[in-house]
Every structure is written in C-alpha cells, then in structure tokens.
C-alpha cells in the first residue's frame, strides 16, 4: 500500500467525512464535504468538497484522497478524486497503534511491534498483497496470522483493491466488477493466476491478463494461460458470427495467439487444455466442434423448442373452400387480389403451428401478414380491436421485431400493437428475461418480423417463452445481412427444410414503377449490370472519383436540407467507419454544413467528437433501463453544464421519438453522430431517401448481401454515388465468410423428417391451381 510519503509528489488530501452531499449508489458516484487533516495543496480552507467515484465513506475513518483541484463555476474550489484509500499510519508508532487497535482481534501491542519490526513500515501493504509473509513473523501463531489477514482485508477491502488495480491501469468500474467477484481475494488471485479473471470477469480480456502475468513472472506455458487463450479465441470468433469453432481451427487460432514467435507450446498441449476445459464445462466439445456453453445451450435449446412447437398438432383446421371465402372478403376490404403464392402463404400459415414467410422487398410480406391476422381473427372469431380486450381477456395478436424501428414499422403497416423482442420478453438489462418456459408469453398468434436480425441467443430466449398452443409466424428476407450476434438463424431454419415455409417471389411494388425494388431483385438474382443503374425517377447513380465522393455526398445532403427535407427522412449509409470516405469523416463534414458551430448552440467535446444541440445521433448499445436500444436514432435537444443539473454533472439530452434520455459525459461513448450510419446498423430500418457512397476503398466490405441490405432501406428515393464498377463488382461478390453453426444439421437430426416428405408436401395443390 502506498503511504503519504510515497505519494507526496502527487496531490493528496488526508481527511475525514463531514457529510455526504450527493450519492448515486448504483454508479458509486459521490459528492461529499470533508475536513482536511493534511494535504500537499496550498489550501487555506479547513473543509473541502470532494467528488468522484467512491463508495460511502465511513465517518469514523480517515482517508487519503488523490486527485486534483478544480474550479467549479458556481461552487468554487473542489477536489476531483482519482483514487483513494483508508489511511494507514506510516510511522512505526502509528502502525503499532493501528494493528493493536480494537479493529484486529487478538493482536496486542507486543505482537504488533513484532510484526512491524519484521515487515517494516509497509507491513499492511505486504500482508494484503501476500498473506504468507505473516508465516515468518517470529512468535505469531497461525490462527492469529489468519485473523489479522482477514481483519485487514475486511477493513481495507475495496479501497485497497482499487488502489492496487489502478497500478495495472484498471479503472474504478473494472475494480468494482473484480471486487464483487472475489472480494478480498482479488489481489492474490490477480498475482497468482490473472488468467482466472478472463473466465470470471466480463470484459477482462486475455491480453490484459497476459500483461499482468508478465509483470508477475508467470510462465508462458502455464496451463491457465493456454486455457484462457482457448476461451479468448472463442469469444473473439463471435465477432465473425460463429456459434462454434471446429476443433482444428480452434487449435490453430489459439496457437497463433499464445505462441507468437516462440513455438514452445504444442498443438497437443492446446488440445489437452481444450479437453480439460470441456471436463470443467467451461467449453463444450461436440462432434469436434468447440462451443462456449451459453451458445451450445442456446443452439440445441432452440432446436428442442422448435421441435416442441412443430410437433404439436395444429388443432383448428379450416377447409380450403371456407378459407377462400374468408380471404375473398378480405380481398374486397383491401381492394386487392392475392397472388397464388400469397394465398398459399396465408393457407399454410393458418394450418401450421410455425411457418416462415420469406421474400424480397415489395413481394407483399406485410400484405400477407395482414391477410393471415385477419383470417385468423375470422376463423377464431376474434376481434382485432384492442378496445374489445381488457386485463381479463388478453389481446390475442402479438407482433414483435428485433429493433424499435422495425417494431414501429410493423405497427404502422398493420395498425396493430408491436414491440421489440426484448420488451416482449421483459429484458431487465442484465442478460435475464422475465419471460421463459415458467412464465410464458400470452396471446394466440405471434408474428416476428425482420427475423434475419435475430441471433442464436435471442432466438432461444424467445422460443423458450412461446407456449405450445401459440401459433407462430416468422417473417424475414433471407438475402439480407445475417444477425450482428452469432448464428444465421433464419437461413439455417430455411436450409434445414424442417419448418414449413413459403417464399414470395413475385414483386408487387415494382408494378407501381419502383426502380429501387427492381434493382434489389436484379441483385438478388445476380442479374445486375450497368443497365440496371441508369437514372430513373426514384433512382440515380452519380459517378465521381473516390477522392470527391465525400464532397458529392455533402452536396446532396446540403441541397436536400436547403429544400427543407427533414434530415430524419434522409439517411447516408456507408460500410466502414475509418477511411477517407468512412462514416466518421462523412459525419464530421455533414455536421459542418447542416449543424455548424454557432453562438446559439451549446456543444460538448469528447476525445474524438463534438456533440452540438440539434445534432442527429445514434445509440450504439442496448440501454433498456432508459428504453433506448442499439440503432435508435434521435436528436440532441439540450446540453446542460455542471451547475445546471442536480447531479452537478454535464448532461446531453437526446430525444428519441417521444422519449428523452440524459447522457453524462462518461456515457457519451454510447452515442455517435447519425447523419451517416453503418449499413449494419441500418438493418430493420427504412428511410424515405437513402444516399450510399460506393468506392473502391470499401472493397473488402462490398458484398452482395451488404449492398442489397443498403439499397432496400430506401422507400422513395435512392442515390448512389462514386464508382459504378465498384458497385457492380460488389453486388456480384457473394459473402464467402462462412458462419459456423450446426442449427440446420441439429434440426434435421432432431426432427428426423426427411427433406423429401417436406418437398412433396409443398407440391400439394391449392384451390388457386384451379383458377
Ligand atoms: N396481391 C397484391 N395486389 C396488389 N398489390 C399488392 C399485392 N400484394 C402487395 N401489394 C402491394 O405491393 C406493395 C408492397 O407490399 P408489401 O409492403 O406488403 O411488401 P413487403 O414484402 O412487406 O415489402 P417490404 O419488405 O419492402 O416492406 C404494397 O403497396 C402493397 O399494397
């Protein structure tokens, strides 16, 4: 432990609590008044307001606070605390008095003197870092040593861990997580086996553990190091969407990670540790595939849930003649006539426990969803009007989608209530859901839109909560990008052939003269050529050189802005963040034009961004406690300075639809400008006008499914700019990055239905064949 002498060159205040002014328990953020007992700052005051991230101060204790003096505009001089610790006397007499005080049972003055004589003035820090030093103190019994060690750990506890971890560069948030997991043993574990942190502490990576291990001379071939490397590689593979890694590939990647240039750990050593991890259930090895347990259980659990649902017989069946009559009256109401495949979709959805409806843009997926819901209502004599239901009679139609924007769209197009899947399942923000097999969803017909965005974890959570008597319709476009999280659930379900599905291929919106839809279908069918990208009423490709593409984008946005187009309705989409024509640069340039610096506008600067009132911004992570989710777009409506908020911190207020969320400076990394967003983040959203730069510099990202997803985000007008050849090449490039997932194979095995029987079923005649 550092004492006052050791840190004299740094700013410190030694003091005791007068009273607490403000406390945010969840964040451990506090403002307090303290009495100054000693300091190396030139204070005249005898008391001082301190603020920072610390837990409740004990009024009977003396503390050492390290930090810096700041001048608050309204409240004057304050002390910003970086870290702190309980004060331990740093003279021999003081230390003896401390150790022999009532705090430590069984240690009298003589024993305390022996300890200080033997271990010196840094005795406390030595004992806390390695309690075995007490074993050598002459005349100290084992019991007394253990009691002292325990007492010291309890008394010094959290602060000691914070101070110690800060030496390795860990911040207070990480220290809190670590302390929660190991309490007083945190430092001993860190020194002896930092790799254990990789298993137990979320966000503690292998490379960090490696750094600590190096400083503590832990050998490179330590089994814990190899095991931590195995786990790290699996976690890392999630970023590429894999549900597991084949064992051979896993071993190769672990070898690259842990061996570097020195090849002294063999493949055998690595595979032995993988099997050891398998024994300890820290990974699961099945069919030569290595899984993280959560993904193994999600994948196989999801398959079991599908089996449970599809094997239950669909009870209500209507005859084709009856259905034709019902559908006929809906056609009249909607003033349209369903196409053959659309009717088949309605018929199959109504007669199946679970069905997948897939198809490209404008093929009538929403029109068919409406047809299915209305027919279901007719058959079961259920009103679609929410007013006809109350707490005793649950609304039977449940509509959900993976993002808030997608849920809003399905709500607008059907007129029925729709929520995000997370909301539907009652997510509490800590990876647990209210709804599950013991507390299932209520309702009779569940429709999940934009299912291509659902990853393996969420699919399992959702299906666990579906009661067996509920009918389920999954809707999605299989040609879009797969989920951000691991797996490719929609396409695996379709590939397995084990779940009834209908693919809509006829395009209806094209009939209204949409070039955007036509282009999307040409891309889908690999028929996109230079002729496909000639100018039309709703489409243009402005050719320009790569170095001018940002200027062209800016001109388009500026013109639209001058014409009064609401920037919420215009979205620039790009595939990469960091490049000459990357998202960050485009955002910076658009901000200069549409929301420039002005005296009337407040701003707040972070390390790499300036947020200004009026800025369009996007939320980057799920924040369910505030009701905002990854991908939600909003506008900065106000910026408050420290002295204007009750918490005495700067705040940025963002309006998302009708809900306001306050961000403190430390949370601003959850936000970025949204004039231009990534194509990945735009999944599930649609915008009236979409502008997409396409340049050779994006080459490694330009793939068919990415460009297809991008252009299908536009509803009314699509403007591409840049290099036509790069675009044509990109849409011809299939995404060859295979995602490892065994969902399809597992389903086939589990359901044990031959594909042939499904195919014959699909060939069955429908009444429309006779029309
Ligand atoms: N059978 C039909 N007859 C006439 N018009 C139709 C028919 N089916 C769909 N449409 C029209 O085609 C357009 C696209 O349909 P819809 O919105 O249902 O497709 P979608 O697949 O949901 O499209 P997207 O994925 O782009 O939202 C709508 O204007 C719809 O009214």
Using the CB atoms, write b or e for 699-710: b if 16+ within 10 Å. eebbbbbbbbbb
Report the DSSP pairing between strands 610-612 and 616-619: unpaired
Q: Which two tokens stand for residue 644?
A: 């204007």
Query: Can you give the pLDDT at residue 168?
Result: 80
| Distance (Å, whole) CA 441 – CA 424 | 8
Q: Establish whether residue 697 lines the binding site of ligand 1, counting it when its CB lies within 6 angstroms of any ligand atom.
A: no
Q: Which residues pair with 328 in a beta bridge?
A: none
Query: Can you give the pLDDT at residue 263?
Result: 57
> Scanning the structure block, which residue is given the tokens 């496909």?
532
Query: Can you give the pLDDT at residue 647?
Result: 66
Q: Where are the beta strands (DSSP E) in 557-642?
A: 570-574, 603-605, 610-612, 616-619, 633-640
- Tell which wins on pLDDT, 665 or 261: 665
Q: Which residues pair with 635 in a beta bridge?
A: 616, 655
Q: Where are the beta strands (DSSP E) in 190-347?
A: 244-246, 284-286, 289-291
Farthest-apart Cα atoms in the chain, separation = 104
| Distance (Å, whole) CA 478 – CA 231 | 31
| Contacts of 171 by beta carbon, 8 Å cutoff, 6+ apart | none
Q: Work out the pLDDT band at 261, boundaries 50, 70, 90.
A: low
Q: Rounded to the nearest whole angstrom, what is the distance from the C-alpha of residue 507 to the centroid of ligand 1? A: 8
| Distance (Å, whole) CA 687 – CA 714 | 5
CA 429: distance to chain centroid? 11
Give the dihedral of Cα atoms 573, 578, 584, 589; nearest 10 deg: -90
> Is the alpha carbon torsion for 323, 324, 329, 334 positive or negative?
positive
The closest alpha carbon to 185, from 161, 203, 213, belongs to: 161
Provide, rounded to the nearest whole percent, the portion of the chain with pLDDT above 70. Answer: 92
Ligand 1 pocket test target in 334, 344, 360, 366 with most atoms within 8 Å of CB: 366
Q: Which atom of ligand 1 is nearest to the CA of 477?
A: 25
Query: Can you give the pLDDT at residue 646?
Result: 66
Q: 10 Å Cβ neighbour count for 414?
A: 20
The closest alpha carbon to 54, from 93, 82, 19, belongs to: 82
Q: 10 Å Cβ neighbour count for 263?
A: 8
Q: Is 362 annotated as a binding residue?
A: yes
* Ligand 1 atom 25: residue of nearest CA: 361
Average pLDDT score over the chain: 87
pLDDT(9) > 60: no
| Distance (Å, whole) CA 160 – CA 86 | 8
Least confident of 146-160, 702-716, 741-755: 146-160
Q: Establish whether residue 367 lines the binding site of ligand 1, counting it when its CB lies within 6 angstroms of any ligand atom.
A: yes
* Ligand 1 atom 24: residue of nearest CA: 361
Q: Rounded to the nearest whole angstrom, what is the distance from the C-alpha of residue 479 to the centroid of ligand 1? A: 18
| Distance (Å, whole) CA 685 – CA 508 | 20
Phi, psi of 714 (to 5 degrees): -95, 135
Q: Establish whether residue 456 lines the binding site of ligand 1, counting it when its CB lies within 6 angstroms of any ligand atom.
A: no
What element of type H or E holds 484?
none
Least confident of 245-249, 296-300, 682-686: 682-686
Query: Can you give the pLDDT at residue 753?
Result: 53
| Contacts of 717 by beta carbon, 8 Å cutoff, 6+ apart | 538, 539, 688, 689, 690
- The vertex-335 CA angle with 334 and 340, nearest 5°, equals 90
Note the pLDDT tens digit of each residue in 285-302: 999 999 999 999 999 999
Query: Can you give the pLDDT at residue 537?
Result: 87
| Distance (Å, whole) CA 555 – CA 540 | 14
Q: Establish whether residue 241 lines the binding site of ligand 1, counting it when its CB lies within 6 angstroms of any ligand atom.
A: no
Q: Rounded to the nearest whole angstrom, what is the distance from the C-alpha of residue 379 to the centroid of ligand 1? A: 24
Q: Rounded to the nearest whole angstrom, what is the distance from the C-alpha of residue 449 to the centroid of ligand 1? A: 15
Q: Establish whether residue 65 lines the binding site of ligand 1, counting it when its CB lies within 6 angstroms of any ligand atom.
A: no
Q: 10 Å Cβ neighbour count for 322?
A: 13
Count how many Cα atoms sit within 13 Å of the Cα of residue 719 in the half-sphere of its side chain: 19
Q: Rounded to the nearest whole angstrom, what is the distance from the C-alpha of residue 583 to the centroid of ligand 1? A: 32
Query: Can you give the pLDDT at residue 104?
Result: 79
Q: What's the rounded mean pLDDT across residues 436-441?
A: 94
Q: Which two tokens stand for residue 429?
A: 């923000």
Q: Is 364 annotated as a binding residue?
A: yes
Q: Which two tokens stand for residue 735?
A: 């995404």
Q: Which atom of ligand 1 is nearest to the CA of 368?
A: 18
Q: Rounded to the nearest whole angstrom, what is the distance from the C-alpha of residue 693 to the centroid of ligand 1? A: 28
3-state secondary structure of 659: strand
> Scanning the structure block, which residue is given the tokens 């930090």?
67
Note the pLDDT tens digit of each residue in 189-203: 888 889 999 888 878
Q: Which string of DSSP letters, residue by residue, matches 689-727?
A: EEEEEE-GGGGGG--HHHHHHHHTTEEEEEEEEE-HHHH
| Distance (Å, whole) CA 397 – CA 470 | 10
Phi, psi of 399 (to 5 degrees): -115, 135
Q: Which atom of ligand 1 is nearest to the CA of 339?
A: 1
Q: Establish whether residue 366 lines the binding site of ligand 1, counting it when its CB lies within 6 angstroms of any ligand atom.
A: yes
Q: Establish whether residue 509 lines the binding site of ligand 1, counting it when its CB lies within 6 angstroms of any ligand atom.
A: yes
Q: Establish whether residue 682 lines the binding site of ligand 1, counting it when its CB lies within 6 angstroms of any ligand atom.
A: no
pLDDT(510) > 70: no
Q: Work out the pLDDT band at 766, boundaries 50, 70, 90.
A: very low
Ligand 1 pocket test target in 336, 356, 364, 510 with most atoms within 8 Å of CB: 364
Ligand 1 pocket test target in 338, 362, 711 with most atoms within 8 Å of CB: 362
Query: Can you give the pLDDT at residue 511?
Result: 55
Q: What's the rounded mean pLDDT across residues 61-67?
A: 85
> Scanning the structure block, which residue is given the tokens 């997409």?
692
Q: What's the rounded mean pLDDT across residues 576-594?
A: 93
Q: Work out the pLDDT band at 40, boundaries 50, 70, 90.
A: confident
Least confident of 38-52, 605-619, 711-725: 38-52
Judge if ipTM > 0.95.
Answer: yes
| Distance (Å, whole) CA 402 – CA 476 | 11
| Distance (Å, whole) CA 483 – CA 455 | 5
Give the dihedral of Cα atoms 505, 731, 406, 404; nearest 10 deg: 160
Alpha helices for 454-510 (secondary structure H): 456-464, 489-496
Q: Establish whether residue 463 lines the binding site of ligand 1, counting it when its CB lies within 6 angstroms of any ligand atom.
A: no
pLDDT(353) > 90: yes
CA 219: distance to chain centroid? 35
Q: Would you say how long the chain is, in residues?
A: 771
Q: Is 312 annotated as a binding residue?
A: no
Q: Establish whether residue 476 lines the binding site of ligand 1, counting it when its CB lies within 6 angstroms of any ligand atom.
A: no
pLDDT(642) > 80: no
Q: Which two tokens stand for residue 342?
A: 């659309």
Q: Rounded to the nearest whole angstrom, what is the distance from the C-alpha of residue 349 to the centroid of ligand 1? A: 18
Q: Is 738 annotated as a binding residue?
A: no
Provide, rounded to the nearest whole percent, the portion of the chain with pLDDT above 90. Answer: 50
Q: Work out the pLDDT band at 36, boundaries 50, 70, 90.
A: very high
pLDDT(762) > 60: no
Most confidently predicted of 166-170, 509-513, 752-756: 166-170
Query: Can you give the pLDDT at residue 347?
Result: 94
pLDDT(755) > 70: no
| Contacts of 504 by beta carbon, 8 Å cutoff, 6+ apart | 341, 342, 345, 357, 358, 359, 360, 363, 364, 365, 368
> Is the alpha carbon torsion for 145, 147, 149, 155 positive or negative?
negative
Query: Can you give the pLDDT at residue 767?
Result: 40
pLDDT(5) > 90: no
| Distance (Å, whole) CA 274 – CA 279 | 9
Note the pLDDT tens digit of each residue in 462-486: 999 999 999 999 999 988 888 989 9
Question: Contacts for 636-645 with beta carbons within 8 Å, 24 or more apart?
Answer: 636/611, 636/612, 637/613, 638/602, 638/613, 639/602, 639/603, 639/604, 639/611, 639/612, 639/613, 641/73, 642/72, 642/73, 642/74, 643/72, 643/73, 643/74, 643/75
> Is the alpha carbon torsion for 407, 571, 632, 620 positive or negative?
positive
Q: Which atom of ligand 1 is nearest to the CA of 511?
A: 12
Q: What's the rounded mean pLDDT across residues 651-665?
A: 90
Q: Which residues pair with 722 in a beta bridge?
A: 543, 694
| Distance (Å, whole) CA 613 – CA 727 | 36
* Ligand 1 atom 23: residue of nearest CA: 362
Q: Which two tokens stand for residue 748?
A: 């086939």
Most confidently predicted of 125-134, 363-372, 600-609, 617-626: 363-372
Query: Can you give the pLDDT at residue 267?
Result: 87
Q: Rounded to the nearest whole angstrom, what is the distance from the C-alpha of residue 404 to the centroid of ligand 1? A: 22
| Distance (Å, whole) CA 67 – CA 81 | 4
Q: Which two tokens stand for residue 524?
A: 């889908």
Q: Which two tokens stand for residue 663?
A: 């961000």
Q: Rounded to the nearest whole angstrom, what is the distance from the C-alpha of residue 734 to the centroid of ligand 1? A: 27
Q: Rounded to the nearest whole angstrom, what is the distance from the C-alpha of residue 362 to the centroid of ligand 1? A: 5
* Ligand 1 atom 1: residue of nearest CA: 338
| Contacts of 13 by beta carbon, 8 Å cutoff, 6+ apart | 34, 36, 38, 39, 41, 43, 48, 50, 64, 65, 79
Q: Is 755 annotated as a binding residue?
A: no
pTM (2 decimals)?
Answer: 0.75
Ligand 1 pocket test target in 367, 409, 517, 682 with most atoms within 8 Å of CB: 367
Instruction: Tell me the helix, strand and coil percentages in the chain, rounded to 5.
Output: 45, 20, 35
Q: 10 Å Cβ neighbour count for 73?
A: 9
Q: Establish whether residue 365 lines the binding site of ligand 1, counting it when its CB lies within 6 angstroms of any ligand atom.
A: yes
């Amino acid at each position: 432990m550092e004492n006052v002498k050791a840190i004299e060159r740094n700013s410190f205040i030694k003091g005791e609590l007068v009273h607490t002014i403000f406390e945010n328990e969840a964040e451990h953020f506090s403002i307090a008044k303290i009495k100054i007992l000693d300091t190396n700052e030139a204070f005249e005051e005898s008391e001082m307001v301190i603020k920072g991230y610390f837990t409740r101060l004990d009024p009977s204790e003396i503390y050492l606070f390290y930090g810096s003096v700041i001048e608050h505009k309204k409240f004057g001089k304050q002390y910003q605390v970086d870290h702190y610790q309980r004060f331990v006397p740093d003279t021999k007499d003081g230390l003896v008095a401390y150790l022999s005080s009532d705090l430590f049972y069984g240690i009298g003055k003589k024993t305390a003197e022996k300890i200080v004589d033997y271990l010196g003035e840094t005795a406390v820090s030595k004992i806390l870092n390695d309690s075995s030093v007490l074993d050598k103190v002459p005349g100290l019994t084992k019991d007394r040593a253990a009691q002292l060690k325990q007492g010291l750990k309890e008394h010094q506890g959290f602060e000691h861990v914070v101070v110690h971890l800060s030496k390795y560069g860990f911040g207070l948030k990480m220290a809190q997580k670590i302390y929660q997991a190991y309490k007083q043993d945190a430092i001993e574990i860190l020194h002896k086996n930092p790799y254990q942190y990789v298993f137990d502490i979320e966000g503690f990576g292998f490379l960090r553990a490696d750094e600590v291990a190096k400083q503590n001379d832990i050998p490179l071939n330590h089994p814990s190091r190899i095991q931590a490397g195995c786990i790290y590689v699996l976690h890392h593979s999630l970023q590429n969407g894999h549900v597991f890694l084949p064992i051979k590939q896993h071993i190769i990647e672990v070898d690259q990670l842990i061996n570097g240039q020195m090849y002294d750990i063999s493949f055998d050593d690595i595979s032995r540790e993988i099997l050891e991890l398998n024994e300890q259930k820290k990974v699961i090895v099945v069919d030569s595939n290595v899984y993280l347990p959560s993904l193994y259980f999600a994948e196989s659990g999801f398959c079991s849930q599908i089996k449970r649902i599809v094997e239950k017989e669909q009870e209500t069946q209507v005859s084709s003649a009856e259905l034709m009559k019902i559908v006929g009256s809906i056609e009249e109401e909607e003033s349209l006539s369903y196409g053959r495949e659309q009717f088949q979709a309605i018929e199959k959805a109504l007669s199946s426990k679970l069905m997948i409806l897939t198809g490209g843009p404008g093929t009538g997926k929403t029109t068919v969803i409406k047809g299915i819901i209305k027919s279901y209502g007719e058959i079961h004599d259920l009103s679609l009007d929410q007013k006809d239901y109350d707490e005793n009679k649950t609304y039977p139609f449940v509509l959900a989608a993976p993002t808030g924007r997608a849920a809003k769209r399905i709500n607008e197009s059907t007129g029925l209530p729709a929520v995000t899947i997370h909301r539907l399942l009652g997510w509490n923000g800590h990876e647990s859901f209210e709804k599950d097999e013991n507390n299932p969803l209520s309702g009779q017909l569940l429709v999940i839109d934009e299912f291509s965005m659902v990853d393996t974890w969420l699919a399992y959570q959702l299906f666990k909560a579906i009661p067996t008597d509920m009918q389920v319709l999954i809707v999605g476009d299989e040609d879009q990008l797969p989920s951000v999280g691991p797996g490719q659930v929609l396409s695996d379900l379709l590939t397995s052939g084990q779940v009834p599905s209908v693919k809509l291929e006829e395009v209806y919106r094209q009939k209204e003269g949409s070039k955007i839809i036509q282009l999307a279908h040409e891309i889908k069918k690999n028929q996109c050529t230079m002729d496909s990208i000639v100018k039309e009423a709703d489409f243009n490709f402005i050719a320009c050189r790569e170095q001018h593409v940002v200027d062209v984008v800016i001109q388009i946005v500026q013109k639209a802005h001058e014409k009064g187009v609401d920037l919420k309705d215009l979205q620039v989409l790009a595939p990469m963040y960091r490049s000459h024509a990357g998202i960050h640069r485009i955002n910076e340039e658009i901000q200069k034009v549409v929301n420039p610096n002005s005296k009337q506008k407040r701003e707040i600067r972070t390390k790499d961004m300036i947020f200004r009132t009026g800025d369009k911004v996007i939320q980057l992570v799920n924040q369910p406690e505030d009701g905002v989710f990854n991908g939600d777009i909003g506008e900065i409506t106000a910026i408050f300075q420290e002295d204007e908020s009750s918490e005495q911190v700067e705040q940025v207020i963002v309006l998302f639809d009708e809900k306001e969320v306050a961000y403190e400076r430390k949370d601003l990394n959850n936000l970025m400008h949204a004039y231009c967003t990534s194509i990945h983040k735009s999944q599930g959203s649609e915008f009236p006008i979409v502008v997409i730069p396409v340049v050779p510099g994006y080459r490694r990202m330009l793939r068919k499914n990415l460009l297809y997803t991008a252009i299908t985000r536009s509803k009314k007008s699509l403007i591409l700019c840049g290099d036509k050849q790069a675009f044509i090449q990109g849409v011809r490039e299939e995404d060859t990055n295979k995602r490892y997932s065994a969902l399809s194979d597992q389903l086939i095995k589990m359901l044990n239905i031959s594909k042939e029987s499904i195919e014959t079923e699909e060939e069955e005649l429908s009444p429309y064949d006779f029309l």
